[in-house]
């Protein structure tokens, strides 16, 4: 079982909180070159950097340079994540990726080519049916540079997101739901997120402000979990009912999907299409999460996500998307006219069909147990316990 893989490692809930801090810090470090490049260009152009919003910053630099610097932060984040898994959790790359003894790269390449061909075909078909919606954007030299950047860094970006949400957090939250105090942690984190959103809407929180906020929130949580009040709360019968409800695989699936979707809220697409597009982002998170849990590994989600972003970056761009590239085509249509079909058709038609096809190919069974079953800590063999202990003493 994929989630239960984490029980073989050092899986204390506090390790995941520390791990997330380290990973997020790595992403911020990776963003420094992008921020520095934008500031430098703004000063050269005599612009006021504070006047650039998120959307303006994403289109301020030359497209290829902009793409490279944007994707660099994800590459640094991926490196931080893998280091956290290896040294903080004593978890191997294979255990983080799949429940199989070895990573099944055939699964990765199958869905990469499958979705790459289908998604490209849909773009080409739409181009021939509604050519007035597109403008030929192809320039050989910039496109060649784009290919080099995209082929190297887009898979790193998508791998970071998959290893973060369908890997590290899916397993981390999955094993944490067996902790009796997990409902307290869950409710507290929801309150922290709500407070953060309120503060962020009132004040301009820089990196230091965000860091201080989350460090204080973590200290308060640790103090409360070790207080007598939390012990009394756990003893209540109503609390036990809540504990039994959240102690299921659907909990990490829903949480990671929602967080995955909400982290896209700063994308230019949200400003252009409105909050309804969050249905697409959260729905995509659920689709990839279901794929991971049913297949007992991340190979399919890694391949799908890489194909989706890579082929899109190379084939088509638009002025209102996060990836503005030297692609072959440029979408000139009004996105508000096709918003409903672009949001609802993938989530409620295309994704279920893909899951059905994959279930037949890989013979998925017992959907109820794999998606909604209780998470139970497996009984480890003595040799496995000794191995974890020896790793801890290194």
Q: What span, in angstroms and rounded, lies between the C-alpha atoms of 254 and 173? A: 11
Provide CB contacts within 8 A for 24, sequence distance 6+.
Answer: 77
> For 259-271, how does the pLDDT look when each residue is reduced to its tens digit (9 = 90+)?
999 888 777 777 7
Q: What span, in angstroms and rounded, lies between the C-alpha atoms of 310 and 298? A: 18
Is the separation of the CB atoms in 16 and 176 below 8 Å?
yes
pLDDT over threshold 60, residue 354: yes
What one-character-per-residue DSSP string does 147-162 give? HHHHHHHHHHHHHHHI
Q: What is the pTM of this model?
A: 0.90
Which one, of 93, 177, 155, lies nearest residue 301 by Cα?
155
> For 63-121, how does the pLDDT look when each residue is reduced to its tens digit (9 = 90+)?
899 999 999 999 999 999 999 999 999 999 999 999 999 999 999 999 999 999 999 99
Q: Please state whether beta strands 329-331 and 316-317 pair in parallel, antiparallel, or not at all (unpaired).
A: parallel
More confident residue, 178 or 382: 178
* pLDDT band, very low/low/confident/very high, at 219 (cuts 50, 70, 90): confident
pLDDT over threshold 50, residue 385: no
Is the separation of the CB atoms in 252 and 168 below 8 Å?
no
pLDDT over threshold 60, residue 391: no
Q: What span, in angstroms and rounded, lies between the C-alpha atoms of 289 and 283? A: 10
Judged on CB neighbours under 10 Å (0-12, 13-18, 19+), 143 is middle
* pLDDT band, very low/low/confident/very high, at 394 (cuts 50, 70, 90): very low
pLDDT over threshold 60, residue 388: no
């Amino acid at each position: 079982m994929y989630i239960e893989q984490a029980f073989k490692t050092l899986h204390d809930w506090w390790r995941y909180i520390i791990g997330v801090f380290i990973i997020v810090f790595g992403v911020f470090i990776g963003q420094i070159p992008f921020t520095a490049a934008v500031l430098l260009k703004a000063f050269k152009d005599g612009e006021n950097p504070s006047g650039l919003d998120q959307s303006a910053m994403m289109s301020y630099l030359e497209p290829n340079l902009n793409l490279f610097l944007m994707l660099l932060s994800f590459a640094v984040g991926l490196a931080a994540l893998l280091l956290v898994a290896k040294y903080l959790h004593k978890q191997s790359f294979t255990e983080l990726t799949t429940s199989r003894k070895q990573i099944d790269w055939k699964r990765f390449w199958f869905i990469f080519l499958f979705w790459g061909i289908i998604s490209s075909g849909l773009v080409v078909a739409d181009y021939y049916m509604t050519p007035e919606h597109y403008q030929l954007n192809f320039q050989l030299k910039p496109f060649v540079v784009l290919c080099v950047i995209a082929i190297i860094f887009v898979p790193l970006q998508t791998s970071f997101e998959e290893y973060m949400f369908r890997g590290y957090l899916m397993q981390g939250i999955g094993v944490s739901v067996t902790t009796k105090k997990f409902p307290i942690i869950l409710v507290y984190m929801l309150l922290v997120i709500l407070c953060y959103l309120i503060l962020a809407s009132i004040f301009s929180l820089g990196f230091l402000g965000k860091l201080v906020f989350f460090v204080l929130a973590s200290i308060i949580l640790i103090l409360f979990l070790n207080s007598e009040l939390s012990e009394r709360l756990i003893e209540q019968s109503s609390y036990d009912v809540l504990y039994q409800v959240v102690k299921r695989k659907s909990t990490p699936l829903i949480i990671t999907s929602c967080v995955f979707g909400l982290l896209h809220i700063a994308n230019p697409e949200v400003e252009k299409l409105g909050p309804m597009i969050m249905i697409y982002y959260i729905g995509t998170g659920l689709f990839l999460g279901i794929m991971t849990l049913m297949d007992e590994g991340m190979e399919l989600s890694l391949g799908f996500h890489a194909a989706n972003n890579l082929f899109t970056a190379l084939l088509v761009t638009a002025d209102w998307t996060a990836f503005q590239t030297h692609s072959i085509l440029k979408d000139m249509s009004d996105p508000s006219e096709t918003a409903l079909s672009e949001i609802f058709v993938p989530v409620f038609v295309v994704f279920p069909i893909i899951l059905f096809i994959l279930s037949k190919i890989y013979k998925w069974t017992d959907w109820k147990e794999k998606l909604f079953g209780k998470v139970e800590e497996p009984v480890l063999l003595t040799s496995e316990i000794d191995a974890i202990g020896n790793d801890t003493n290194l």
